[in-house]
């Protein structure tokens, strides 16, 4: 069985990390695994297993026929049978199937704005569904969206929880700024408006009033856009933030950073099933998180971490302070989260389900 995972890029974000995790896991399971980043590579290239064949055709736009033909040639030369298309890569996967009808298409929907599905465009997705052999979704809201809005039949639809994989993440460690300062807070999220870093910065201003040596580390990629300039501008201009909040960008030593920190935070307006939350759990890091998407499911309704309403910086600050002032209780919840991640978000179970779907499409090979 020859499978190609397809994703737009390899920036350090949730869907991209899952594409790498799945490609690596398939190779571990003995499947010939290929990974295509249609547009560009990125920091996650370092985590692609040597057993996974990486291909970057260099797509410049959705109508880049030269890149499309390069990818088509690669698929034919390597005998690819299944394309596991993540997120918007579905559209190129379907175009490839038009020219190579024997290809089987699996779509993996990671749509992160799952609280705003009522405004999601459906026309092109519905056009693609008849050519898609199976669809994986990462939360119940996306499951309902696929059933009700995309008219996907139950036999072609599966819930597939994300899973974390920090293997090898401790191999190259860069020192943290102000490494001698405590407590250390970390937010593992790309700098995008959906992640609501303004809420986090407002909360941190309150936290630093109680813990004047606190430091906040923002780990994740950015696009050098207006949102990034706004957040970085606040950090350098506001006295309560300047010198205390550090933008680290995309990092390849995420596990080491999490090991060094005291609280993991997500302040998002909307989420699907965030891989960051699973990675906090894998490192037994106490968690404070907004109650959006599947965060409550991951944290078992708050028994494995602190849940707060979105866009409420006072509630977020109070929850962070609670964790810092009650370390034994916080660590007990972190241990429960670790056990829950191991039980419900297992790589082995996810890979077993994925391979089962592949076999239903091409047979047991």
pLDDT surpasses 60 at 273: yes
Rounded-to-integer distance, Cα 305 and Cα 155, Å? 35
Domain that holds residue 220: 184-344
Same domain as 355, residue 217: no
Give the pLDDT confidence of 298-337 residue by residue, as tens digits: 999 999 999 999 999 999 999 999 999 999 999 999 999 9
Q: Are residues 204 and 333 in the same domain?
A: yes
Residue 58 confidence (pLDDT) above 60: yes
E-assigned strands of 110-244?
A: 134-137, 157-159, 184-188, 215-219
Token pair in block for residue 231: 């957040």
Residues 154 and 252 occupy one common structural domain:
no
149-187, pLDDT tens digit by residue?
Answer: 999 999 999 999 898 877 654 456 788 999 999 999 999
The Cα 257–Cα 248 span in angstroms is 10
Task: Mark whether 112 and 253 lie in a shared domain.
Answer: no
Q: Indicate whether 168 belongs to any domain.
A: no
| In-domain check, residue 209 | yes
> Within this chain, do residues 114 and 65 fall inside the same structural domain, yes or no?
yes
State the pLDDT confidence band at 237, using cuts at 50, 70 and 90.
Answer: very high
pTM for this one?
0.85
> Tell me: the pLDDT tens digits for 216-232?
999 988 878 999 999 99
Contact 211, 183 (CB under 8 A): yes
What are the backbone dihedrals phi and psi of residue 64, each rounded to the nearest 5 degrees, phi first?
A: -75, 95
- Whether residue 262 is found in the same domain as residue 358: no
């Amino acid at each position: 069985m020859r499978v190609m995972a397809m994703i737009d890029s390899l920036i350090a974000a949730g869907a991209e990390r899952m594409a790498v995790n799945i490609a690596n896991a398939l190779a571990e399971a003995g499947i010939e695994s290929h990974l295509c980043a249609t547009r560009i590579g990125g920091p996650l290239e370092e985590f692609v297993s040597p057993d996974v064949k990486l291909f970057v055709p260099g797509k410049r736009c959705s109508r880049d026929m030269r890149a499309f033909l390069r990818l088509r040639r690669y698929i034919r030369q390597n005998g690819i049978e299944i394309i596991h298309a993540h997120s918007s890569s579905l559209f190129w996967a379907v175009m490839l199937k038009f020219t190579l009808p024997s290809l089987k298409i699996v779509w993996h929907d990671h749509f992160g704005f799952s609280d705003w599905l009522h405004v999601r465009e459906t026309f092109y997705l519905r056009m693609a569904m008849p050519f898609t052999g199976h669809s994986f979704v990462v939360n119940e809201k996306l499951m309902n969206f696929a059933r009700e809005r995309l008219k996907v039949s139950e036999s072609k639809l599966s819930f597939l929880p994300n899973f974390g994989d920090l293997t090898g993440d401790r191999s190259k460690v860069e020192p943290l700024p102000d490494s001698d300062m405590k407590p250390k807070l970390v937010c593992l999220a790309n700098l995008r408006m959906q992640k609501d870093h303004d809420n986090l910065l407002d909360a941190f201003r309150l936290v630093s009033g109680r813990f004047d040596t606190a430091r906040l580390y923002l780990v994740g990629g950015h696009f050098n856009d207006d949102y990034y300039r706004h957040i970085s501008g606040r950090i350098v201009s506001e006295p309560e933030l300047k010198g205390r909040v550090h933008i680290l960008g995309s990092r390849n030593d995420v596990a080491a950073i999490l090991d060094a920190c005291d609280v993991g935070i997500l302040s998002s307006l909307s989420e699907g099933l965030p891989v960051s939350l699973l990675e906090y759990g894998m490192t037994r890091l106490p968690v404070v998180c907004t109650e959006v998407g599947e965060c409550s499911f991951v944290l078992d309704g708050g028994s494995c971490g602190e849940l707060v309403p979105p866009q409420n910086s006072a509630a977020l600050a109070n929850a962070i302070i609670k964790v810092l002032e009650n370390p034994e209780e916080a660590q007990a919840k972190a241990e429960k989260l670790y056990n829950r991640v191991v039980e419900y978000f297992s790589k082995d179970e996810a890979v077993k389900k994925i391979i089962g779907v592949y076999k239903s499409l091409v047979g047991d090979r």
